[in-house]
Chains A and B, each alone.
Chain A
């Protein structure tokens, strides 16, 4: 149905009257098409393409004369955009800040991304941090955390968390998280440690009300990292890791119930189901048992999702 038809149906039921119908009609016919989010998406893809290209460019042309110029260009971009973002800064508050400048947030993002390229290159070519590789990844993490809080920027916060995870030898990006080598038990423990640490910061920000709107990002990245690491460890090392994973999944569901975030509900249920199923079935070598269990458990989850509002007492 078109909006025009819908307006007529509303008119029939006397929810709106003729003048409002006509006004809405005129508005629908004459309103310009808003390309607000499309343009921002375009700007973001431009930034990521640009940085991806630069990252390849400096390593491919490392022995040519032009590469000094490329480095100078990257440094210049990082400085200029950083200075622009700084000049448009708003006074710091503990709450969310709406920056009136359209481009300040994007400039900061570009500045941080080019800084990361530059820093990585300087370490690679000139070993500015020598063999202290930890320092080379810890400095951007620290810097990005400071910038994220000063400029109230969730994107830079995500970069800071990514850098922190890199410092511990981990990949945190949602789609790459399984690329971590969780057969290494030390990596599992550092993933769980970093994940819990990030969750703790999120809880702290909510309690103290310091940038409370950052907590979702902390829970999302930290929670996923800790749950996936403990799930992988349940498979690869010991079933006892289930005891770490399951409380986390239940926390996800609890958080979903508290905030109405259905993504956390889905993640909690799916991770919890996979882990629990593995622990229950790994000792069972009976094909028919597995099939009957699979049917009953999946059916139970379908019933749960169909009635989750009643079960969790959620009101939409």
Chain B
């Protein structure tokens, strides 16, 4: 469990940096924020985190190796339950170590790579140990439920982003395993999957916006993105057709019932996401929508050959070039809730101008007590500049 107050402060700082980047906070205010909401977590860089993650994982593997060297005679003679028991002890030690990480490290580690590696390996070895102890088969309902339970508890306790995604994935697998047991279940599988991801998506959106659950904010944010992909994949014609072929062992795959319905989903869901991006002004919907559109085109080409791939590549390339030139020209002045303004760098003057403009129209500068750089440049706004 991480220190909740520090996680809270960390999030305030991150949000304040975003506000500062867009010119809504001054340098001074950002500095004050960092003082008012101090975070003692170890600050590093994504690349350092990758390094820490890789090498911590190696350290744990080598510790297992050393244990095997020391107690090998004992472990490999008996049945696999002995190994399972050893793994269980190891995972418990790992969890104990994670809980008391601050006592062992001179830095307070939060999503620093080291703690992530420890959490994942601890969950993994706990799962392995229970599989060995209870003789589960690889992909059985019992095993997947157990995995979900372990990951669920860990995701709840550590608010880890990847564990939450893994949890949603393994629950989806569980749904799949249960429904695939019945003929009726097989028929409603795609709809059940779509419903499942819709619930996950809406629930994580609620969680994300609730201030009280800030500890799980980042996990819910990523989960929402994954749910968008899952919802689309559940209704995608290619996914449904190939999955049902896989279930029935029919190769090559054959036409599926309700094909028109899945074609309808394949086409409309990306458009729905595009509308959501416009309506909610959220980047993730836009990106997921574009990726889904690409996948929909690939789905169509998979079953209906329209033209040879080199012609398709050239034409789609030319089309993309034309479309992006058209859009860049169109969005010189913001339209349809989108704009082509460069994402602000620190203290971007354009954004600063916009905000100072708003401030000016609503309040006189003397009252606000804030001085934005270049705030006295009147009118115009950003659009004509870019």
On A, residues with C-beta under 8 Å from B are 1-3, 5-7, 9-10, 13, 15-17, 19-20, 22-24, 26-28, 31-40, 42-43, 45-54, 56-57, 60, 102-103, 110, 262-263, 265-266, 269-270, 287-288, 291-292, 294-295, 298-299, 301-302, 305-308, 316
User: B62 and A35: CB pair below 8 A?
Assistant: no
Assembled-state Cα–Cα distance A263/B66 (Å): 32
Assembled-state Cα–Cα distance A295/B22 (Å): 46
Contacts of A23 in B (CB 8 A): 24, 355, 358-359, 362-363, 368
User: A39 and B65: CB pair below 8 A?
Assistant: no
Q: Residue on B with the closest CB to A263?
A: B47
B114 CB → nearest A CB, Å: 6
Assembled-state Cα–Cα distance A103/B329 (Å): 10
Q: Which 9 A-B pairs have the closest CB atoms?
A: A50-B317, A53-B313, A46-B320, A53-B314, A49-B317, A6-B15, A295-B62, A56-B310, A46-B321
Contacts of A269 in B (CB 8 A): 51
B352 CB → nearest A CB, Å: 11
User: A302 and B320: CB pair below 8 A?
Assistant: no
Assembled-state Cα–Cα distance A5/B105 (Å): 33
Contacts of A7 in B (CB 8 A): 19
B-side interface mostly? helix
User: A1 and B217: CB pair below 8 A?
Assistant: yes
Assembled-state Cα–Cα distance A6/B114 (Å): 29
Contacts of A270 in B (CB 8 A): 51, 54
> Within the complex, which residue of A19, A265, A294 is in contact with B58, where a contact is CB–CB below 8 Å?
A294
User: A32 and B55: CB pair below 8 A?
Assistant: no
Binary interface encoding of chain B residues 45-67 relative to chain A, with 1 for a CB under 8 A from any of its CBs, else 0? 11110111011101101110110
User: A53 and B317: CB pair below 8 A?
Assistant: yes
Given contacts A1-B217, A26-B358, A27-B24, contact A46 B343 (CB under 8 A): no
Given contacts A19-B359, A53-B315, contact A305 B55 (CB under 8 A): yes
Does B107 have its Cβ within 8 Å of any Cβ on chain A?
yes
User: A19 and B311: CB pair below 8 A?
Assistant: no
A252 CB → nearest B CB, Å: 12
User: A32 and B334: CB pair below 8 A?
Assistant: yes
Q: Residue on A with the closest CB to B281?
A: A33
User: A291 and B317: CB pair below 8 A?
Assistant: no
> Within the complex, which residue of B22, B105, B290, B334 is in contact with A306, where a contact is CB–CB below 8 Å?
B105
User: B33 and A39: CB pair below 8 A?
Assistant: no
User: B62 and A47: CB pair below 8 A?
Assistant: no
Assembled-state Cα–Cα distance A28/B229 (Å): 26
Given contacts A20-B359, A33-B282, A56-B310, contact A15 B18 (CB under 8 A): no
Given contacts A16-B29, A49-B320, A266-B47, contact A103 B325 (CB under 8 A): yes
Binary interface encoding of chain B residues 5-42 relative to chain A, with 1 for a CB under 8 A from any of its CBs, else 0? 00000011001101100101100010011001100001
Given contacts A19-B367, A20-B359, A269-B51, contact A302 B323 (CB under 8 A): no
User: A34 and B339: CB pair below 8 A?
Assistant: yes
User: A298 and B314: CB pair below 8 A?
Assistant: no
Does B106 have its Cβ within 8 Å of any Cβ on chain A?
yes
B17 CB → nearest A CB, Å: 10
Given contacts A39-B328, A263-B47, A306-B42, contact A1 B29 (CB under 8 A): no
Assembled-state Cα–Cα distance A113/B214 (Å): 48
Contacts of B55 in A (CB 8 A): 298, 301-302, 305
Given contacts A20-B370, A24-B24, contact A48 B286 (CB under 8 A): no
Given contacts A10-B33, A26-B358, contact A43 B339 (CB under 8 A): no
Does B1 have its Cβ within 8 Å of any Cβ on chain A?
no
Assembled-state Cα–Cα distance A10/B338 (Å): 28
User: B281 and A302: CB pair below 8 A?
Assistant: no
Contacts of A262 in B (CB 8 A): 45-48
* Residues 322-348 (chain B) with a chain A CB within 8 angstroms: 322-325, 327-328, 331, 334-335, 337-343
B13 CB → nearest A CB, Å: 9
User: B320 and A43: CB pair below 8 A?
Assistant: yes
> Within the complex, which residue of A3, A33, A40, A49 is in contact with B286, where a contact is CB–CB below 8 Å?
A33
User: A35 and B48: CB pair below 8 A?
Assistant: no
User: A27 and B358: CB pair below 8 A?
Assistant: yes
Does B297 have its Cβ within 8 Å of any Cβ on chain A?
no
User: A294 and B368: CB pair below 8 A?
Assistant: no
> Within the complex, which residue of A34, A38, A299 is in contact with B341, where a contact is CB–CB below 8 Å?
A34
Q: A16-B370, A294-B58 are in contact. List 13 more A-B contacts (CB 8 A).
A: A6-B12, A17-B369, A31-B281, A40-B324, A46-B320, A49-B320, A53-B317, A60-B308, A301-B51, A305-B44, A305-B48, A306-B52, A306-B105
> Within the complex, which residue of A2, A37, A298 is in contact with B343, where a contact is CB–CB below 8 Å?
A37
> Within the complex, which residue of A50, A52, A291 is in contact with B69, where a contact is CB–CB below 8 Å?
A291
Q: List 15 A-B contacts (CB under 8 A).
A: A1-B15, A6-B12, A23-B362, A32-B341, A36-B341, A50-B314, A57-B311, A102-B328, A103-B328, A262-B48, A266-B48, A266-B50, A294-B62, A305-B55, A306-B114
User: B65 and A43: CB pair below 8 A?
Assistant: no
Interface centre among B316, B317, B354 (most CB of A within 10 A): B317
> Within the complex, which residue of A9, A28, A32, A110 is in contact with B12, where a contact is CB–CB below 8 Å?
A9
Assembled-state Cα–Cα distance A15/B58 (Å): 45
Interface centre among B58, B283, B287 (most CB of A within 10 A): B58
Q: Residue on B with the closest CB to A50?
A: B317
Contacts of A301 in B (CB 8 A): 51, 55
A296 CB → nearest B CB, Å: 8
Does B137 have its Cβ within 8 Å of any Cβ on chain A?
no
Assembled-state Cα–Cα distance A102/B326 (Å): 12
Given contacts A266-B47, A301-B55, contact A51 B283 (CB under 8 A): no
User: B29 and A295: CB pair below 8 A?
Assistant: no
Contacts of B59 in A (CB 8 A): 295, 298-299, 302
Does B3 have its Cβ within 8 Å of any Cβ on chain A?
no
Assembled-state Cα–Cα distance A7/B48 (Å): 31
B43 CB → nearest A CB, Å: 6
Assembled-state Cα–Cα distance A79/B25 (Å): 48
Contacts of A316 in B (CB 8 A): 43, 45
User: A49 and B359: CB pair below 8 A?
Assistant: no
User: B324 and A51: CB pair below 8 A?
Assistant: no
Q: Residue on A with the closest CB to B36?
A: A13
B31 CB → nearest A CB, Å: 10
Given contacts A31-B281, A262-B48, contact A39 B69 (CB under 8 A): no
